């Protein structure tokens, strides 16, 4: 959800504070995160400040990933997921640039679009995808979703007005 709300908050900060608004918020959040790590996180507390028995079963992310990466099938799935995500983020970046240059989207327009896109994606993954996976084979769903995404991307290239972008968003 933060990936959907973040651009909208950033656009609002730019409108209210100016171009440095998102950077100032990032500085405040970074200071708060650092304070949490230094003052609260059990791994960073001195031995006298740690509660006994807390987080004994929690392993570091590196320790958790090791066994997963040793399994060939999981390495393959992890690689596919990584490259699909990189490709999708590249498409989103290009789409944002296209909307700014060709349709005159400003920061608030981009924020609203990103919020709507995130809500649509979360909704389809939470509600539509489980229904499709129950009725069809996984491979069929993956191919169909890829085809719909390709059509969806093509339709963005055909729009000529701002409002049409949101119609395409709802269609996909």
- Tens of pLDDT, residue by residue over 8-64, are 777 788 888 887 877 788 788 888 887 877 777 666 666 665 554 445 555 565 666
DSSP-assigned states of every residue in 4-32: HHHHHHHHHHHHHT-TTHHHHHHHHHHHH
Neighbours of 156 (CB within 10 A): 19
Average pLDDT, the chain: 78
Find all residues with CB under 8 Å of 68, minimum gap 6, and list them. 74, 78
State residue 104's pLDDT score: 92
pLDDT, residue 50, reads 53
- The answer to whether 145 and 42 are in contact (CB under 8 A) is no
Q: Determine the pLDDT at residue 42.
A: 66
At 69, the pLDDT band (50, 70, 90 cuts) reads confident
pLDDT of residue 33: 80
Q: Mean of the pLDDT values across residues 109-116?
A: 87
Residue 135 has pLDDT above 90, yes or no: yes
Q: Sorting pLDDT into bands at 50, 70 and 90, what band is 100?
A: confident
Cα torsion angle, 78, 83, 88, 90, sign: positive
The C-alpha atoms of residue 3 and residue 118 are separated, in whole angstroms, by: 7
Higher model confidence: residue 54 or residue 105? Answer: 105
DSSP state of 99: H
pLDDT > 90? residue 154:
no
- pLDDT, greater one: 135 or 110: 135
State the Cα–Cα distance between residues 82 and 21, nearest whole angstrom: 31
State the average pLDDT over residues 69-82. 76
Helix (H, G, I), strand (E, B) or coil at 161: coil
Region 142-148 average pLDDT: 83
- Look-up: residue for tokens 């001195």? 46
* Rounded average pLDDT over 66-89: 75
For residue 80, pLDDT over 80 is answered with no
């Amino acid at each position: 959800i933060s990936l959907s709300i973040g651009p909208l908050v950033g656009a609002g900060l730019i409108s209210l504070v100016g171009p440095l608004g998102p950077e100032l918020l990032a500085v405040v959040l970074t200071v708060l995160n650092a304070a949490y790590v230094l003052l609260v996180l059990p791994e960073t507390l001195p031995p006298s400040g740690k509660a006994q028995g807390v987080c004994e079963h929690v392993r570091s992310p590196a320790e958790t990933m090791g066994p997963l990466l040793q399994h060939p099938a999981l390495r393959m799935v992890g690689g596919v997921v990584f490259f699909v995500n990189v490709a999708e983020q590249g498409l989103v970046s290009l789409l944002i640039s296209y909307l700014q240059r060709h349709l005159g989207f400003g920061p608030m327009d981009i924020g609203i679009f990103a919020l709507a896109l995130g809500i649509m994606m979360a909704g389809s993954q939470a509600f539509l995808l489980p229904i499709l996976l129950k009725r069809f084979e996984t491979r069929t769903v993956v191919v169909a979703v890829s085809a719909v995404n390709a059509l969806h991307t093509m339709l963005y290239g055909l729009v000529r007005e701002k409002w049409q972008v949101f119609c395409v968003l709802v269609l996909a």
